[in-house]
Amino acid sequence: METQEAPLHVAMVAAPGIGHVIPLTELAKRLVHHNFAVTFFVPNDGTPMKLQKQLLQSLPKSISSVFLPPLKFDEDVPAEVRITLSLTLSIPALRDSFKASTKSTQVVAMVVDSFGMDAFDVAREFGVEPYVLFTTNAMALSFVFHLPKLDQMFSDPASNLPPVYPVGPMVQTASAHLVDWSNNCLKWLNEQPSGSVLYVCFGSGGILSQEQLNELAMGLERSGQRFLWVVKSPDDKATNATYFSLESIKDPFDFLPTGFLERTKGTGLVVPSWAPQVQVLSHGSTGGFVTHCGWNSTLEGIVHGVPLIAWPLYAEQRMNAVLLADDLKVALRVKVNEHGVVGREDISKYAKALIEGEEGTLLRNRMRKLKDAAKMVLSPDGSSAKSLANVVEIWKNQ
Ligand code: UDP
């Protein structure tokens, strides 16, 4: 660790969803190693944000956090609108809070979530340089960078593109545990053969319809493969219904096919709402991962060398699925049938192919190479570490 008397300060403005808070906390932890202190400003969408609080409170003491006053949204406001508005409506509170909590420190940069561009104005008011932590793939970033060109074609000339520092992958080393949702999945994994378990999880907010939930259950059962499934109660309208609350409101077990839990006892374990995903993916018994392709989940799969079944649901997840299945060839991609669902027969085939088929072996071998590449970029001489060191130099020399 470098030594310096009074640490320079970096302000971070998160978005309320856990999937957005996690990468920023990972960046904060790395900055602490460069002798920075970090203050988080977290807009509060009005949900309890239990996990976010738990995660932020568990960080080293040079990382502090301020929860901005809670907002109120009607239940039917879609998640993406709610994230954006949470940040926009919190700007006055951010300004006051930033002023009060950074009075006696030298803030050299403000790093904001990609939904938090409005915070740029606050940074500039206080003479602080703003940065965005763009927490998804480079293809999505180049798409975003293409937007000014489209804008230019159809309206005013667009501004120059900002510099890009590829500091990722920003991956947790252990998942936050939810105290009162603790479950025995790690103990169960200890008892399973090496590489035999298919882990099924659609992130913090991913939700299936009732019909799709049935097909998935029947497909897993039919495959005969071992599985660990994080199940949430279905919703026929929104695919990201628990994005903020994480926890299913209704008991998800009530929505599983009759007799499913009894019939799959021994081969499968179903846990409600949440599992310690990083611990599951790093466990030797885990042999595959059915994922909604959220970028954190994608990177966690890569860093632990686990081949994937890509089942995108919302946001840029379809783009991530194309990258994983067609470009990197480390995932099988599910196909929706003429009834608008992924059918049980297909699910059973994907599960078998990934865990015990030849195709699974090919995907696993390619994934291991990616795992090595991810390890290399994070090593002290790797491109990611060097890129972060570049940013740190800029901030220290201001
Ligand atoms: N996660 C977890 N347990 C769960 C579901 C999710 O630990 O049961 C973590 C997962 O490890 C990841 C994050 O929550 O770090 C989800 O982020 P991602 O970008 O994959 O998806 P999002 O939830 O934002 O759609």
Q: Which atom of ligand 1 is nearest to the CA of 171?
A: 15
pLDDT score, position 243: 58
100 CA → ligand 1 middle, Å: 33
pLDDT score at 203:
94
Asked whether 122 and 11 are in contact (CB, 8 A), the reply is no
Residue 126 pLDDT > 70: yes
Query: For residue 230, how many C-alpha atoms fall within 13 Å in the half-sphere facing its CB?
Result: 27
pLDDT for the residue numbered 159: 66
Catalytic residues: 20, 113
Residue from 83, 134, 270, 297 whose mutation best tests the ligand 1 pocket (most atoms within 8 A of CB): 297
CB 103 within 8 A of CB 31: no
Task: Identify the H or E element spanning 215.
Answer: helix 210-223
| pLDDT of the residue at 173 | 82
Mean predicted confidence (pLDDT) in 8-34: 94
Q: Contact at 8 Å (CB) between 21 and 115?
A: no
Closest CA to 331 of 349, 348, 306: 306
The β-bridge partners of 331 are: 308
Strands across the sheet with 268-272, in order? 268-272, 226-231, 197-201, 286-291, 308-310, 331-333
Given a contact cutoff of 8 angstroms between Cβ atoms, the answer to whether 56 and 25 are in contact is yes
Q: Is 196 in the pocket of ligand 1 (CB under 6 A)?
A: no
Spatial contact of 168 and 132, defined as CB atoms under 8 Å apart: no
What's the pLDDT at 179?
46
Residue 253 DSSP code: G
Cβ neighbours of residue 338 closer than 8 Å, sequence gap 6 or more:
none
Q: What is the mean pLDDT of residues 42-64?
A: 92
Give the percent of the chain with pLDDT over 90: 76
Q: How far apart are CA 56 and CA 253, in angstroms?
A: 30
**Which residues, at least 6 apart from 79, have a Cβ–Cβ distance to it below 8 Å?**
17, 205, 238, 240, 243, 244
- What is the dihedral angle through the alpha carbons of 79, 84, 87, 91, rounded to the nearest 10 degrees? -140
**Ligand 1: centre distance to CA 296 (Å):** 6
* Cα of 243 from ligand 1 centre, angstroms: 10
Q: What are the pLDDT digits (tens) for 212-257?
A: 999 999 999 999 999 999 999 998 776 665 555 555 567 899 999 9
For residues 240 and 273, the model is more confident at: 273
**pLDDT at residue 207 is higher than 50:** yes
CA distances to 268, 269, 338 from 260, in Å:
10, 11, 25
CB of 273 within 8 A of CB of 246?
yes
324 C-beta neighbours (distance < 10 Å), count: 28
The radius of gyration of the chain's CA atoms, rounded to the nearest angstrom, is 22
The dihedral sign for the CA sequence 208, 289, 23, 183? positive
Of 143-157, 304-318, 338-352, minimum mean pLDDT range: 143-157
Task: Give the pLDDT mean for 342-352.
Answer: 98
Residue 126 contacts residue 117 (beta carbons within 8 Å) = no
Q: What are the residues facing 226 on neighbouring strands?
A: 197
Give CA angle at 116 (53, 122), nearest 5°. Answer: 100
CA of 163 to the centre of ligand 1 (A): 28
Q: How far apart are the first and last CA of the chain?
A: 21
Q: What percent of the chain has pLDDT over 70?
A: 93
The pLDDT mean for the chain works out to 91
Does ligand 1 have an atom closer than 6 angstroms to the CB of 137? no
**Contacts (Cβ under 8 Å, ≥6 apart) of 90:** 43, 44, 68, 69, 71
One-letter identity of residue 33: H
Q: How many of the other CB atoms lie within 10 Å of CB of 340?
A: 9
Amino acid symbol at 143: F
Q: How far is CA 126 from CA 9, 65, 121, 122, 162, in A?
A: 13, 19, 9, 7, 20
Single pTM value for the model: 0.87
